[in-house]
Structure 1
Amino acid sequence: MKGIRLKKGQVIDLPVRRLGINGEGIGFYQKQVVFVEGAIPGETVRTRIAEVYSKYVRGKILQLKKASPHRVKAPCPVFRECGGCQLQHINYPKQLELKRELVVETFSRYTGRKDIPIQETIGMETPWNYRNKAQLPLKNLDSRLVMGLYAAGSHRLIDVGNCGVQHPLTNQILETTRKVLEEMSVPVYHEKKHRGTIRYLATRIGLTTGEAQLILISRTSHLPYEAEVVRRLRERLPQVVSIVVNVNPQRTSRVFGEKTRVLWGEEKMKEKLGSLTFALSAPAFFQLNPVQTVKLYDEVKRLAGLTGRETLVDAYCGSGTIGLWLAHKVKQVRGMDTVPEAIEDARENARINGIENVTYDVGAAENLLPDWLDQGFRPDVVVADPPRTGLGKAFMEALIRIQVPRFVYVSCNPSTLAKDCNRLIQSGYRVEAVVPVDMFPQTSQVECCTLLVHESSSREG
C-alpha cells in the first residue's frame, strides 16, 4: 500500500503523542500514523501491528515501555471487551485535559488556526452512575437469557452486569425485567431467523422526580404472557410509572420502531431540569446526563448574551429543552424538529411550565429557517444542537445569508463542529468561545458549546 511501509505482525516501540477521537492513543513511526487502543499520550508502548490500511495502521500493546502516571486500573471487569467506555484506565482530571486537547487539535486540523479560544473542559464532581437511560439487547446463550452490549465490530454480546456509568436504578430495572422474562420463558428475538419477540430492553429514570419508564422493544405488537409479565413487573418495580411496548418488526439494526403501545400506567414520565418539568414519551430524545445538561445549558445561556429583547431560533429542538431553558431571557422562541412526536412533547412541555412565548413547528431546520427568512423573520440569536453529522447545507447557507448576530452551536462531534465553524469563519463569522463539556465521563466523547459572532454585528460579544 502506497505510503505505508509497516507490515502486519511487525513489532515497534511507539511514543504516543495524542488521543484519537475514539479514545485510541496515536503515535507516528517513520511518519506513519499508528493507532493503539488503550495507549495514553506520553507513554511509550511496544506494539505489534495488527491491521494495515491505506493511510494508517492499528497496533496492539505488547508491553508498556514507559507508563503514564495518569494510568489507573479500570474498575469495570469487562472494560476491554464491552467497548462502551474507552477511558476508564485514565484518571479523571487527565480525561478532562485530554478531551480539551482533542478539541484543540481538531479545530487546528480543520480550520488551520491555532488562535481559537478553547476553554477548559467542564467536568463532573462524581463521574460515575450518571446515565439516566439504557437500552440493551437480549440473547439466549447456553439456556440463559443474557443482556448486555455487543463487543465493538461484532455481534458477540457482552454481559455488562452492574454497569458503572449507568445510574444504579437503571441497572436494577433492566436486570429485574430480564429475570421476569426468563422466568416466564418469553421468547427473545433471533436476528438471523427473524423470529422471537423481545429485541431490546430500555429504561429511563427521572433523577429528580424518582419516576421511571420501562420500554419492551418487540418484533410483535402483542407479547406472550403479557398480563402476567406486567403484573410481576409492577410488583417488583414500584418506581416504574410507565410500561410500554415499542414495536419494531423490521430486519434492521435500528432499535426503536414507529409504534408504541402503553401496557400499563402513564404514556409519559416526568423529569426536571432546574425549575422546568419535562414530560417524556418513550421515543423522545432527552439528554442522558441531567447533571451535566444543566451546566451545558447554562453555558448556552451565558454565551447567548441574552437581554430579554431577543428573538431566538431553537434549531433541532427535540422536546424543547434548550429553548424552554432560555425562554425567560428572550422575547420569543421559535423551535423546529423533524420528529412530530418531539414537537408534540415540546408543546406539552411549554404548557406544563406555563411558558407562552414559544412556538414549535414540524420540519427540518434546513428548510424552515430559509422559509422564515423569506417571510421577513430575522432572529437575533440562533441555537442549534444538530445530530453528529452537523449542520445541514441549506441551514448553513441560511446562517450565512442572515448574518445572525450570535450563533450558539452545541455539538457532540468535534470534527463536524470544526468543519462547520471553518465554513462559517470563511463567511464572516468569528469564533468567540468554545467550551468543552464532559457529558459522558469514562468515554472518549466530548460535547462542545461554541459561540460564533458575525463580523457585521454591532453588538459586542
Structure 2
Amino acid sequence: MIEKNKEYIFDIVDQGYEGEGIAKTEEGFTIFVPEALKGERVKIKIVKVKKNYAYGKLIEIITHSENREIPVCPIFKRCGGCSLQHTSYNNQLEIKTQRVKDCVTKIGKLDSSLVKNTLGMKNPYRYRNKVQLPVGINKGELQIGFFAPRSHDIINMESCFIQDEAADKVVKIVRAWIIKNNIKPYIVEGEYSKEGLLRHIMVRRGFKTYEVMVVLVTTSEKVPHKDELINALIEGIPEIKSIMLNISSKPTNVILGDKSIVLYGKDLISDYIGDFKFNISPLSFFQVNPVQTEILYSKALEFAGLSGKETVFDAYCGTGTISLFLSQKAKKVYGVEIVPEAIENAIENAKENGIDNVEFRVGKSEEIIPQMIEEGIKADVVVVDPPRKGCEKSLLEAIADMAPQRIVYVSCDPSTLARDLAILKEMGYETIKVQPVDMFPQTGHVEVVTLLVKER
C-alpha cells in the first residue's frame, strides 16, 4: 500500500500528456510523477494519495531517459506556462501523437493507424505572438510573470522562451516604470487589491509585419506618469505601433474589460496568415502561433478537397481566418460564429483582403446552420472548429441530415474530437485521416485536423 510522505523507487512505464511520468505498483496502482520521463528509474516521495492513484515528487533520477533535456528556462519547474521543456522536441511530438491515438482508439473506437505523426516546428521556441502577464507584489517585491499552476502566485519572469522577444523588452521597461513611480499592482500577496491599478501587461506582435501592440490593463483610466512610460516604450522598441489602455475594474479572472483607450498610435496592428492580412485589436481573437496556423489551415484546405464549385459551411468561424483560406478554392463560404464582435472582425477581414465569396452570420452554429438549410442553402463541405467542449450533438445531427460529401473537423481537444468522431460514424461518416499539428511546443496542448467522408 502506497503511503503519503514515504519514499519509493519506481520505473516510469508510461508518459502523461503534460509531461508527467507514470509508474505502477505490482498491484496496478498508478502514481503520477511530474518531470519524470518514460524509461527512467526514479526515487520519489509520495505527496498525495487518492483512492485509485497517487502523486509523487521527483527526488532523484537513478537512470536517465535518452530523451531528457535540460530546460532552457530557469523558472520551468515553478512556472505554469510550459510542461515539456525537460524532454526533447522529437519526444514531445511523439507524446502528442500518442495522446491523439489514445483518444481516437479508446474514446472514438477507431483504428490508431488513422493518426499521422504530429507536424512540428523547425524552431519550437519564441513562437507566441501574444502574452498576457499579471502584475503583483509579494513580500514587498514586484512580480511580473505567469501564475504558478493552480494558484494566483506570480512567478517573476525576466524572459519567456516561448514568447516573442518584444515581450521581454516591454516587461523590462514597464517594470522600471512601476518601480520608479510606485505604481500599485492589482495582485497583492496572491489576492486582488481594491487599491491596485495595474492588473496585466498584454503584448501582441505581428509575425510578418513586426508591428507591436502594448496594452496596459488597469482598474482606472487615471494612470500617473503614463507619458513617461509611453516615451520609454517608443524609444526602447521602435516597432511599437499601438499603446492601449484597457479598463478592467471588475474583480473577476477575465483579463480584458470592454473599454479600450488609445495612448499612442493606432488601435490595432496587422499581421498575415499565408497571403491574407488581418487587423488585430486588443480584444481580437488571433491564433498565437502564426507559423503553425498556416500549416493547420493549409491542411484543412487540403482535406476539404475543393475544386471551385463547392459551397462550404465554416462553423465556429471566429474572425474568419479559416473562411478566408477556404474562399481561395470554394464557390461560396458561409461562416457562423456566436460572438458578434468576431463576426464584425470577420467582415472587415474579408473586405481588407478583397474577398467577396464569403458571408458571415451571427449566432449559435447549432441554430444558424439548420436555419440556413431550411432556407435552401446546403453545403458540399462543412468545416467545424469548435471550442474545447466540442460540437453540440444537434449541430452534428443537422450536418449529417444535410449529407455533405466531406467534413473537416479542426479540434483543440483530442478527447472531445474522438467523442464526436464516434457520433459522426453512427451518422454515416467515415474518418479517413487524423493529422495532429503542434501549435504549442513545450506544452501538452495539440491541435488536430481530421477528414471525414460520407459513407456510400
**TM category, shorter:** over 0.9
Contact 2:315 2:384 in 1 (8 A): yes
Contact 1:50 1:58 in 2 (8 A): yes
User: Greater shift after overlay, 126-135 or 176-185?
Assistant: 176-185
| 2:20 paired residue number | 24
| 2:434 paired residue number | 434
The residue type paired with residue 21 of structure 1 is: Y
| 2:177 paired residue number | 180
| 1:347 paired residue number | 347
| 2:69 paired residue number | 72
| 1:459 paired residue number | none
User: Aligned partners of 1:339 and 1:243: how far apart in 2?
Assistant: 25
Deviations 1:127-155 (Å, cap 9, x if unpaired)?
11111111100012354432001111222
How far the C-alpha of 1:118 sits from its partner, in A, is 0.4
| 1:273 paired residue number | 273
| 1:391 paired residue number | 391
TM, length-normalised to structure 1? 0.93
Q: Helix, strand or coil: the match of 2:386?
A: coil
How far the C-alpha of 1:12 sits from its partner, in A, is 3.5
How far the C-alpha of 1:223 sits from its partner, in A, is 2.2
Contact 2:170 2:233 in 1 (8 A): no
| 2:158 paired residue number | 161
Contact 1:284 1:318 in 2 (8 A): no
| 1:56 paired residue number | 53
CA shift in 2, pair 1:178/1:260, >3 Å: same
Contact 1:107 1:116 in 2 (8 A): no
Contact 2:12 2:41 in 1 (8 A): yes
Report percent identity of matched pairs: 38
How far the C-alpha of 1:90 sits from its partner, in A, is 0.7
1:19-418 paired onto structure 2 within 5 Å: 19-29=15-25, 30-190=27-187, 191-418=191-418
User: Aligned partners of 1:222 and 1:339: how far apart in 2?
Assistant: 30
| 2:7 paired residue number | 11
TM, length-normalised to structure 2? 0.94
CA shift in 2, pair 1:109/1:232, >3 Å: same
User: Aligned partners of 1:151 and 1:134: how far apart in 2?
Assistant: 16
Contact 2:18 2:84 in 1 (8 A): no
How far the C-alpha of 1:262 sits from its partner, in A, is 1.8
Structure 1: stretches of 5+ with no match in the other structure: 457-461
The residue type paired with residue 103 of structure 1 is: V
Contact 2:17 2:95 in 1 (8 A): no
Contact 2:412 2:448 in 1 (8 A): yes
How far the C-alpha of 1:312 sits from its partner, in A, is 1.1
| 1:449 paired residue number | 449
CA shift in 2, pair 1:17/1:422, >3 Å: farther
User: Greater shift after overlay, 304-313 or 219-228?
Assistant: 219-228
User: Greater shift after overlay, 7-16 or 199-208?
Assistant: 7-16
CA shift in 2, pair 1:269/1:78, >3 Å: same
The residue type paired with residue 341 of structure 2 is: E
The residue type paired with residue 425 of structure 1 is: K
The number of equivalent residue pairs is 452
Q: Helix, strand or coil: the match of 2:286?
A: coil
How far the C-alpha of 1:11 sits from its partner, in A, is 3.5
Q: Helix, strand or coil: the match of 1:351?
A: helix
User: Aligned partners of 1:403 and 1:195: how far apart in 2?
Assistant: 58
The residue type paired with residue 414 of structure 2 is: P
Contact 2:215 2:243 in 1 (8 A): yes
Deviations 1:357-416 (Å, cap 9, x if unpaired)?
011122121221122122222111111222212112332232233232211111111111
The residue type paired with residue 450 of structure 1 is: T
Q: Helix, strand or coil: the match of 1:312?
A: strand
Contact 1:184 1:229 in 2 (8 A): no
Q: Helix, strand or coil: the match of 2:421?
A: helix
RMSD: 1.8
How far the C-alpha of 1:39 sits from its partner, in A, is 1.4
The residue type paired with residue 254 of structure 2 is: R
Contact 2:104 2:112 in 1 (8 A): no
The residue type paired with residue 135 of structure 2 is: L
Contact 1:19 1:102 in 2 (8 A): no
User: Aligned partners of 2:229 and 2:340: how far apart in 1?
Assistant: 31
Q: Helix, strand or coil: the match of 2:334?
A: strand
CA shift in 2, pair 1:346/1:63, >3 Å: same
How far the C-alpha of 1:125 sits from its partner, in A, is 0.7
How far the C-alpha of 1:122 sits from its partner, in A, is 0.6
The residue type paired with residue 335 of structure 2 is: G
Q: Helix, strand or coil: the match of 1:82?
A: coil
User: Aligned partners of 2:101 and 2:58: how far apart in 1?
Assistant: 27
The residue type paired with residue 183 of structure 1 is: K
Deviations 1:22-58 (Å, cap 9, x if unpaired)?
2212233222222111111222323322112233221
User: Aligned partners of 2:308 and 2:127: how far apart in 1?
Assistant: 33
The residue type paired with residue 25 of structure 1 is: G
CA shift in 2, pair 1:220/1:455, >3 Å: same
User: Aligned partners of 1:83 and 1:263: how far apart in 2?
Assistant: 31
User: Aligned partners of 2:23 and 2:139: how far apart in 1?
Assistant: 42
Contact 1:248 1:255 in 2 (8 A): yes
User: Aligned partners of 2:258 and 2:236: how far apart in 1?
Assistant: 29
Structure 2: stretches of 5+ with no match in the other structure: none
Deviations 1:275-296 (Å, cap 9, x if unpaired)?
1111011111111111111111
The residue type paired with residue 111 of structure 1 is: G
Contact 1:432 1:451 in 2 (8 A): yes
The residue type paired with residue 177 of structure 2 is: V
How far the C-alpha of 1:331 sits from its partner, in A, is 0.4
User: Aligned partners of 1:40 and 1:144: how far apart in 2?
Assistant: 35
CA shift in 2, pair 1:77/1:352, >3 Å: same
The residue type paired with residue 186 of structure 1 is: I
Contact 1:381 1:404 in 2 (8 A): yes
